[in-house]
Every structure is written in structure tokens, then in C-alpha cells.
């Protein structure tokens, strides 16, 4: 007898996603066309991007102003008709077989209430930097623990009653994406972890170098402040090892400027590579030595952005506390 299919309410928050929204929704419809609910939430798009999917069998909700991804997801949740939610960012293209993977996982792991995805090593848009970002994101989740305290909001399936337990997404983060860190913290504190499914994958459209650097910087500030409150690292993006790598990169570089010498530089770079050696071995195997060298240089910039974001947040908080005295 054929197994009963789980029906999903699929929530797609969209902000200035004119170049990606159609491909995203098309990929969702390909996998979840019949019997599922698809809700696109226009979070104050400047160019009416949701008009590009108005001819498709989806519901469109519009916010009068930009409230952030958390608020957009919450509005979608309020309209959800099914017991399982699937959150899909508007710059994501889900892969063939996603529905089948989720149906199997829900049957095989009935006690799990949250299933996380892994981005493919091939980005949805072209570019060497984008390829580096895709490999980095893929490796972080693929090499991480089976159960994650991170909340991969780009593509994640969550049972609806989870939000009755932990509450909805925070709406205080309008542009920086901190709602996913905050939700991951709340889920972890409630004893709910996200099972990462190796075959639950997607293609992602990655931003250009400058925008991505800025995103790493501001997300690091957010995580520093969450860490102050909860005292907990997450297991993937804002992990203890990621923090160590970032701080070593920054302070080791400052040390070289203070005590410049060739032996210091050589030792500094060797330790820098050893701290992330698994990632570079993965890249050498999958992409070759030349790409791994490029990735090491780009990783250096990423770690600087993360370290600087956390330090700036710490200085700002110290300064604000002094002003209140």
C-alpha cells in the first residue's frame, strides 16, 4: 500500500529577489506542485519582484515595508495550512528529489521535528568567489555533526508545532540575518536539534565579494551578542573552531606587523592552514591545488571579517556600558 504523503506549507520570504525569485519558485513547484501550499511573502521589495511569480499557483502576501526575513517567515507561518513547514530562501534553487528525500526522512526518523539541508558545491551563479563560497558552505554542514544546533534557514523543514514550543522567529533583525542564529539558540535550549540530511541539497545564489564580506561582519556582531546572553556556540557557522580560526587570523596578522620576520610569517601561515586542514584537503581532492590556494586566501578575508565583527561588537558594548554609568 502506498505511503501517505506529508503535505508541506512552503514559505518563501522575498526581498529584492527579482533576479532569483522565478527560478526559486519554479524549482519548488517542480517538487511540491500538487497538494502542497506555497506562500511567497514580499518583504517590501523595491521592484515588485513577486509580480514575476503572480502567474504561478502560489499565494502572495505583501508587507508594506521591509520588516526582515524573520517577520516575513512569521507571516507565512500564520497562513500555514499543513503540519510541516518548509522554509526556502528566494535565492535558493532546490534540487531534484527534495520531496522524496523529506518524505523518506519523516517516515524513517519520526521523532525528529527539524531537518536541515546542505548547499551543493556548485553555486547557482557563476564566479570563482561564488564557487569558493559554495564549497565552504557545503563543507561546513557536510563535515559537521549529524544533529546541528545551527538553523540552516536557507532551506529547512520544521514541524509546525515546534513554533508552539519555542515561539516564532525574532523580528528584531531586519537586514542582517540574525534571526536564524537566535532561533537556533532557542531550539537548542529547548532540546530540539536539527538533523542534517546529506541528500537534502540546494543550489544557492551567492552575493558578490563586498556584500558577502559585509554580511560576515554583521552576522559576527550578532552572534557575539547572542553568545553573551546564552553562553553557547553553535555547531556549524558560529562554532568554537570557527571563532578560534578567526581570532588567530586577525591577531596573528597583527603580531606580524608588530614583529615582522620571515620565520614568524612562515610559522603563522603554517598554523593558519593547519587550523582548517580538513577543508583544504577536501578542496584539493574535489577542485585541485590551485583552487585550494585561492580558497585559503579568500578564507583569510572571511576570517578577518568575522573577527573584526566580534571585536567591534565587544568594543561597542563596553562603550555603551561606560556611557550608562
Cα distance between residue 61 and residue 38, in whole Å: 11
3-state helix, strand, coil in the chain (%, to 5): 55, 15, 30
Number of helices (H), then strands (E), belonging to the chain: the values are 11, 9
Question: Is the pLDDT reported for residue 62 higher than 50?
Answer: yes
User: pTM of the predicted model, to two decimals?
Assistant: 0.93
Torsion sign (Cα): 109, 78, 38, 133: negative
pLDDT in tens, 234-270: 888 889 999 999 999 999 999 999 999 999 999 999 9
For residue 28, the model assigns a pLDDT of 97
pLDDT-derived band at 64 (thresholds 50, 70, 90) equals: confident
Q: Rounding to the nearest 10 degrees, give the CA dihedral for residues 171, 172, 175, 181.
A: -80
The share of the chain scoring above pLDDT 70, in percent, equals 99
Q: What is the DSSP letter of 121?
A: S
The segment(s) of the chain belonging to CATH 3.90.550.10 are 8-206
Class of domain 8-206: alpha beta
pLDDT bracket for residue 1 (50, 70, 90): very low
Amino acid at each position: 500500500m502506498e505511503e501517505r504523503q506529508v503535505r508541506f506549507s512552503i514559505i518563501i520570504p522575498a526581498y529584492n529577489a527579482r533576479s532569483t525569485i522565478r527560478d526559486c519558485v519554479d524549482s519548488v513547484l517542480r517538487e511540491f506542485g500538487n497538494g502542497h501550499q506555497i506562500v511567497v511573502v514580499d518583504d517590501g521589495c523595491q521592484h515588485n519582484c513577486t509580480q514575476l511569480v503572480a502567474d504561478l499557483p502560489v499565494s502572495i502576501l505583501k508587507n508594506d515595508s521591509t520588516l526582515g526575513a524573520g517577520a516575513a517567515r512569521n507571516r507565512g507561518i500564520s497562513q500555514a495550512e499543513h503540519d510541516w513547514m518548509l522554509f526556502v530562501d528566494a535565492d535558493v534553487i532546490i534540487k531534484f528529489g527534495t520531496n522524496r528525500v523529506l518524505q523518506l526522512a519523516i517516515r524513517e526518523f519520526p521523532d525528529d521535528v527539524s531537518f536541515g539541508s546542505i548547499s551543493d558545491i556548485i553555486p547557482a551563479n557563476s564566479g570563482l568567489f561564488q564557487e569558493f563560497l559554495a564549497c565552504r558552505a557545503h563543507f561546513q554542514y557536510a563535515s559537521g555533526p549529524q544533529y546541528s544546533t545551527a538553523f540552516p534557514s536557507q532551506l529547512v523543514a520544521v514541524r509546525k508545532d515546534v513554533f508552539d514550543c519555542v515561539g516564532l522567529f525574532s523580528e528584531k533583525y531586519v537586514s542582517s540575518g540574525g534571526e536564524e542564529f537566535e532561533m537556533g539558540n532557542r531550539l537548542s535550549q529547548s532540546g530540539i536539534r536539527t538533523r542534517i540530511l546529506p541528500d537534502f541539497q540546494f543550489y544557492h545564489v551567492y552575493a558578490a565579494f563586498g556584500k558577502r564580506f559585509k554580511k560576515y561582519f554583521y552576522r559576527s556582531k550578532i552572534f557575539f551578542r547572542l553568545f553573551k546572553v546564552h553562553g553557547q556556540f553553535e555547531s556549524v557557522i558560529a562554532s568554537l573552531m570557527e571563532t578560534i580560526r578567526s581570532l588567530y587570523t586577525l591577531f596573528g596578522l597583527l603580531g606580524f606587523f608588530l614583529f615582522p620576520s620571515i620565520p614568524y610569517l612562515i610559522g603563522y601561515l603554517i598554523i593558519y592552514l593547519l587550523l582548517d586542514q580538513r577543508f583544504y584537503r577536501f578542496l584539493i581532492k574535489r577542485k585541485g591545488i590551485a583552487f585550494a590556494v585561492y580558497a585559503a586566501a579568500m578564507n583569510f578575508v572571511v576570517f578577518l571579517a568575522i573577527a573584526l565583527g566580534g571585536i567591534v561588537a565587544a568594543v561597542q558594548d563596553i562603550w555603551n556600558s561606560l556611557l550608562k554609568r
